[in-house]
Structure 1
Amino acid sequence: MKIRAGFNIGYQCEHETAMLLVLNIHPSRRADLLTEQTLTFDRPIEAWGYLDIFGNVCSRISAPPGLTTISTKFDIYDSGLPDPVPENAFQHDIKDLPDDVLVFLLGSRYCDTDRLADFAWETFSGTPLGWQRVKAIVDFVHEHITFDYDRADPLRTAHGGFTDGKGVCRDFAHLAITLCRCMNIPARYCTGYLGDIGVPKNPHPMDFSAWFEAYLSGRWYTVDARHNTPRVGRILMAIGRDATDVALSTAFGPAILTSFEVFTDELPS
């Protein structure tokens, strides 16, 4: 399967403003590219890149005053297979986890494990260890939160999503991640492209998507609490502890989002 994806995003800055961007695809997917994937700007801007502590490709720019549009468009190969369902995957004892996985057991900015630990143990301690426990958590989150674009809140934590019962894909991910961590299952936040491939087309404008990965049987497995069904055509951009680590842009000064277009389409064979 071939997929064409990309975006056009505009920012209005009053003054020259330093920005960090996490808008490239993840290095793990670069081998699948059929065309180059680079960031372009509609005005002369110097950009320089680096890898953050999670291995994400980041860019630094100094946006001049006025309107700047950042764009990319690329074609990528995808297997066309749905997310794997590891029904027999086992949960590790904490003592057996790799050192670099331990951070994904800890609370973080949006994953307030201290506020949900008691509920998690009361609700999920009787479920089988491993994938079955992850599935029980995801089933709960999928039923507990109602998806609502109008209820998006960049300040909402996992506990806030648990209390409000409404939110967007990041809220599903944060709550599921937090409950997994409370149950000693490492979980990390993911963001990327997820088009309407193999499913009915969503009438809302395309957006980036959030999901998470759980560490079982010595590897990371994709899990999607919002859709709660294996999907086709995910294109990973970045991973982190929560949405803080994978923010599309971080501006060190006023920067107003003026336009936002994301596209992800399957190409004819």
Structure 2
Amino acid sequence: MKRQAKQHIMNATREAIDPRLSGIEAQTAELQREVLDLAAELKAMRRRVESHLPRPDGRPEHLARYNLADVLAWRAAQTSAEFIEEHMSDAVAMPSRADHLRHAVGHAPGTGVILECGVGSGESLTWLEDLTGSRRVVGFDSFEGLPEDWRPGFDAGAFAQRERGRFRRAELCVGLFEDTLPAFIAALDEPIALLHVDCDLYSSTRTVLSHCMPRLAPNAVVVFDEFFNYPGWQQHEAKAWFDWLDDTATDVTYLSFVPSWEQVAVVVRGA
């Protein structure tokens, strides 16, 4: 009798407790899943936070890998700044290309022709028209783009113009520099007061300098549009200029530059 009563009590207790245990087990399993999800979220958050914490070398992890194009640009800027320190300590920094060209025109001789080699869209040739009153302004360009590859991103044909700019009074000599400059220079009856070199390439710049430099007026101004401040700048317009100086021992003074761009202006005192 006692054994039966005991068994009956145990069965009744189990029937009352088992559903509750099942519910607790289900809740426990759900809590375990939530804990695992939270642990995964915390792990991901930790990785994000740690990526901005200093490394042992003191540098944040997210800055430990550099964009190499940015590094090359910074190195070009550094070498350009070193050139300014060494050769251009008295040159004036101008805020824009337009202001730079205006400043150059203001320091050029009052008489003589104005030449631009590399017209492109015609923006700077239009500026020269506006800045030089009634003086003769002549632009040279094939309008077929670069004759050869320049720096990365500027292949042969870059800057080709479907339509030429319209100018109020500037003359255009259309063709490659080596085809148009010799006859023009031979027929020129006045010196060159300002030479705007927008050639990009070493070869084109060297061609322009070889034909135009001997015809410069005393204290004429030469303006380079892509002289420095880009990766590889020492191999293009600047190299052609340095080679010319080495070959001729020309006396020059650097006049001005645009710090955030690539332009440099030079006063040519004479050979």
TM-score (norm 1): 0.23
TM-score (norm 2): 0.22
Instruction: Say which structure, 1 or 2, has more relative contact order (CA 8 Å, 6+ apart).
Output: 1
Structure of higher CA gyration radius: 2
Q: Which has the higher helix share?
A: 2
